[in-house]
Amino acid sequence: MDSIERMEKEGLIYTQYQNGIHEFVFTGEGEAGLDHFFDIVKELLEGTTGEDRLRYIVDARQTRGRGAMGQLVRRFRKLEVQLGDRAAGRTAILHNGSLLLTLANTFLDTFAPDKDKTRFFDVKNREEAIQWLLDEA
């Protein structure tokens, strides 16, 4: 994929690709990466409406598992309330592999807002994750 923007900040590398995918790679376990992530996501969402769709790859291999993922979800829900009408999102979260993540995919399908779709993919399946992001269904 060809990038049109790349930014490195403490704890995070952000890349926007020509196909519209926004990739976030967490490079450490500190709060700084999450802070930068939400600054960028907020900026992206502020210029959208409910008719739009944003696509994200989140490489979460360097985060501390359940605690970091829980914080990510809580902060996104708070941002969602602040923004109101916003783009729908498709998010592919890359990880190092775990059978528990199959259960997480089921949980997300059950409880996530209808407009947003999230899936966990083993990092070895990055191309499958990209294809899923680009699918409209």
Q: Domains plus CATH for the chain?
A: 3-134 (3.30.750)
* pLDDT higher than threshold 50 for residue 99: no
Highest average pLDDT, of 21-25, 89-93, 117-121, comes from: 21-25
48 contacts 63 by C-beta, under 8 angstroms: no
Report how far residue 137's alpha carbon sits from residue 125's, in angstroms, rounded to the nearest whole number.
19
- Identify the pLDDT of residue 133: 93
Alpha-carbon dihedral angle through residues 56, 9, 6, 90, given to the nearest 10 degrees: 0
Q: Identify the band that residue 56 occupies on the pLDDT scale cut at 50, 70 and 90.
A: very high
Q: Where are the alpha helices (DSSP H) in the chain?
A: 31-46, 66-83, 100-111, 126-134
- Mean pLDDT (whole number) for 120-132: 91
- Identify the pLDDT of residue 132: 93
Highest average pLDDT, of 2-6, 52-56, 62-66, 119-123, comes from: 52-56
Nearest Cα neighbor of 9 from 42, 45, 33, 41 is 33
Tens digit of pLDDT for each residue in 106-117? 555 544 556 778
pTM value is: 0.81
Close Cβ partners of 131 (under 8 Å, ≥ 6 residues apart): none
CA atoms within 13 A on the CB side of 5: 10
Residues in the chain: 137
- Identify the pLDDT of residue 87: 86
Map residue 133 onto helix, strand or coil.
Answer: helix
